[in-house]
Chains A and B, each alone.
Chain A
Amino acid sequence: MSLKDKDIISILDFTKEEILYILEISGKMEKEDRHGILSGKILANLFFEPSTRTRLSFEAAMKRLGGEVIGFDDLGTTSTVKGESLRDSVKIIEGYCDIIVLRHFLEGASRLTADSVNIPVINAGDGASQHPTQTFVDLYTIQKSKGEIENLSIGFLGDLKYGRTAHSLAYALAHFNADMYFISPPSLRMPKDYLEELELKKVSFQEVNSISEVSDKLDILYCTRIQKERFAEPVEYEKVRGLYKLSKSVMDELNVKDGLKILHPLPRVDEMDESLDSTEYAVYFQQAHSGVPVREALLASVLGVIQ
């Protein structure tokens, strides 16, 4: 299989075979030293919206493979403030690099970029839409912690309305016969678009208000932060802030399945207490660290050095 020149914009663009292939390459990247395979290649990290973790993990991945990184993470230092269109900006930067990683506050900005340039583009998150590389990290973590991805029961907890990582992961898990439980207050339910897409894919899912309703069924609990920055009205954020707080004592009181693992794309605020960190449930720090080998696999695959 070759993913050479493939853009990584939406998880919807990937087949099950391609997803499994990326996870396989990620495993190899974690085990083997591949330094030098991207020697001479330049990654442009274009972050029109700050995201330290995602930016640094791409930077670390590129450098670990011997490549170079250019870019910015401050919109104020770009020609956007002079009124330059995104299309013009990326067409110019295309001439300086071999691959573009784009983070943008507008939904669909990555697709526009991919349509505008002739080098591979990786979506590092656009608006409240998708975040496909995080999804590969999540799948890789699930596979490592559970030994498989097929036939699992997955609970998605928290902000399912704006939580793009949950959106992408739900789409990806549709390939793997997952039973999904969407746990959120009514105001933060999974958007109807995603539910419709899951219905079209004949995925089994259920929406509930409380984790206790489904905790005994779950193999994975995917926890998300309620994102203050996505709310237009502060009062709306305050209504749901702190609604879900996982801690060791909360988990002790719940009837949970053996081997339950908790993932979180991080950062966390108050939805997950530090008392959880040392429990057997917690795999979110391994999840964060997996960002580097998974992004190494993605960079090397679309740049065609691994086929």
Chain B
Amino acid sequence: MKKLEVSAIEEGTVIDQIANKSTFKVANILNIQKIEQVVLIGFNLSSKKLGKKGIIKIGGKLLTQEEVNKISLIAPDATVNIIKGSEVVKKFTVDIPDSIEEFMKCFNPNCVSNHQKILSRFHVINKNPIRIRCHYCERHMCVDDIELV
């Protein structure tokens, strides 16, 4: 039997194949400090695909589409597993959307979206590696520039 590096959960969501450096960013997206059920975070775990990876297991939680979209931007290789009765009942990879509204901040301090009361908007111009263009100022952002709000 395969030995688990992070304990299993009976019900909830497992986010696997998180780029190691993005693990705690994903935890922040999910606001885990406010979750009252079991949360397990693995970091520096071995991964054939990524070398090192992170994994987050959350009891009793299903991700919202907005959470999945956010995770896709900072951990594009992540997989989401829905667990019921200790079994994986659904598994999917996160998919980077073609456009993004509201939940990202343009990193250009002189962008109009950082000065007027408007929703930010972005276009994904390349998914691997991620390149995002601000709808307003047209600045490009890569994964390290992304600031979620």
In the complex, the answer to whether A107 meets B131 with C-beta atoms within 8 Å is no
Chain B residues with CB below 8 A from A111, complex form: 112, 135-137
B118 within 8 A of A: yes
**Among candidates A12, A86, A129, A192, residue contacting B137 with C-beta atoms closer than 8 Å:** A129
In the complex, the answer to whether B139 meets A112 with C-beta atoms within 8 Å is no
**Among candidates B110, B117, B118, residue contacting A107 with C-beta atoms closer than 8 Å:** B110
| Least CB distance, A252 to chain B, in whole angstroms | 40
In the complex, the answer to whether B108 meets A107 with C-beta atoms within 8 Å is yes
Chain A residues with CB below 8 A from B126, complex form: 200
| Least CB distance, B127 to chain A, in whole angstroms | 13
Chain A residues with CB below 8 A from B139, complex form: 107, 193
B116 within 8 A of A: yes
A10 within 8 A of B: yes
The size of the chain B interface, using a CB distance under 8 A, is 19
In the complex, the answer to whether B140 meets A193 with C-beta atoms within 8 Å is yes
In the complex, the answer to whether A109 meets B131 with C-beta atoms within 8 Å is no
In the complex, the answer to whether A85 meets B116 with C-beta atoms within 8 Å is yes
- Bound form: Cα–Cα A257–B135 in Å: 40
In the complex, the answer to whether A108 meets B138 with C-beta atoms within 8 Å is yes
Chain B residues with CB below 8 A from A266, complex form: none
Chain A residues with CB below 8 A from B137, complex form: 107-108, 111, 126-127, 129
Chain B residues with CB below 8 A from A192, complex form: 140
In the complex, the answer to whether A196 meets B131 with C-beta atoms within 8 Å is yes
- Bound form: Cα–Cα A86–B138 in Å: 19
Given A192-B140, A193-B139, A108–B111 Cβ distance below 8 Å? Answer: yes
Q: What would 9 A/B residue contacts be, using CB atoms closer than 8 Å?
A: A85-B116, A105-B110, A107-B139, A112-B112, A112-B118, A112-B136, A126-B137, A127-B110, A197-B140
A126-B112, A193-B139 given; 18 more Cβ-contact pairs under 8 Å = A85-B116, A86-B112, A87-B116, A106-B116, A107-B111, A107-B112, A107-B136, A107-B137, A107-B138, A107-B139, A108-B111, A108-B112, A108-B135, A109-B136, A111-B136, A111-B137, A112-B116, A112-B118
Question: Chain B: residues with CB nearer than 8 A to chain A?
Answer: 108, 110-113, 115-118, 125-126, 131, 134-140
